[in-house]
Amino acid sequence: CHLIHYLRLSHHLVVINYLIYTFDKLKSVSSEDINITDAVFDGVEVRVFEPPAKGDERLKRSVVYIHGGGWALASARTSLYNNLCRIMAESLNAVVVSVEYRRVPEVCFPEQFHDALRATKHFLQPDVLAEYSVDPSRIAISGDSAGGNLAAAVCQQLSKDERLTIRPKLQALIYPVLQAFDFNTPSYQQNMNMPILPRFVMINYWIDYFNGNYDLAHSLLINNHTALDVGQALSFRGRLNWTSLLPSSFKKSYKPVIQTTGKAEIIEEIPALLDVRAVPLLAENETLQLQPKTYILTCENDVLRDDGVMYAKRLENAGVDVTLDHFEDCFHGCMIFTIWPTDFSAGIQTRNSYIKWLDENL
């Protein structure tokens, strides 16, 4: 795939997605228990999973789900996410709306954010909720990895929109990617070569998301973009101080990597590195105070572990009710691997814990 990209025959992400869809893409076929339909919400494609009505039940709870894949890979229609959303709809007896946002390289930030926001705001309209028989007081927004990033960013934006009459009751974030400020948190150092999501792959996902230059990867890796002499980053440093936000069991013996002199031109070239719509962990406390009850799932063997743990701590400090669900023996992306031949016990374990929390709180 990278050779094809190098020869300029196509973008490597396009090739990877083509291979995924060739082997995996599903038709919109409903199961016996769940009605699955494709729709368009304010110009954004979505897949809706609706369980049948039970008895005299009038309104159902609902989850807006945003899939992961580095803002570039996978789809609401692939079997892994189709299966997850179907099981959520069945287990929770809930309407699940899976957002099919546009991906890199077709579009870059902030378009993925805008797609997720538009689709969610459309669904939150009273007449749309009534069409799907959804209780407006029992809606969650959720996502995994890059989808967790979009879910957190959308939730922050919704909380500040005074025109909205309906907002999510909960947010549930699965090993979310929440910051590009520090690529040397303890989990980034500990898991830098961990399969599924090594550190250099996550940095490249960020570069692709921001339509940046791969030549910046090394400077980002050593935190040149947030060095002490980079004025644009100074006001954000206190919001992401892992030495105070992480428990000692996560910090271990790792040391902060803070450059004295760096490259301010990186932020000038990619200002989105400090845009809270892309990096929700950097949001101000006033925004965090507005967030709904929150669930965050993290895995020990994951470069993004500390992103989720720090966000949980910042939300807790802001007065938000937070559940941090940490798994010592699990890895990034594990929750969607529940279908043969990748039906891992880690996937079943994390998925069951996530659905159990939603069932008890939504």
Active-site positions?
Answer: 145, 302, 332
How many Å from the N-terminal Cα to the C-terminal Cα in the chain?
42
- Tell me the C-alpha distance between 158 and 167, whole Å: 7
Are the C-beta atoms of 337 and 344 separated by less than 8 Å? yes
Are the C-beta atoms of 148 and 177 separated by less than 8 Å? yes
Angle at 316 (CA atoms; ends 253, 335), nearest 5 degrees = 70
Name the phi and psi angles at 136, rounded to 5: -65, -15
Helices 345-361 and 79-92 pack at an angle, to 10 degrees, of 40
- Tell me the C-alpha distance between 255 and 259, whole Å: 12
Residue 172's nearest CA partner among 149, 138, 140 is 140
Kindly compute the dihedral angle of the four CA atoms of residues 87, 93, 99, 100, in this order, to the nearest 10 degrees: 50
Helix (H) or strand (E) holding 171: strand 170-174
- Tell me the C-alpha distance between 256 and 185, whole Å: 7
- What would the two tokens of residue 145 be? 């990895």
- Tell me the C-alpha distance between 123 and 134, whole Å: 10
Q: What is the separation of C-alpha 317 from the centre of its chain, rounded to a whole number of angstroms?
A: 22
Are the C-beta atoms of 93 and 60 separated by less than 8 Å? yes
**Number of helices followed by number of strands (H, E) in the chain:** 16, 8
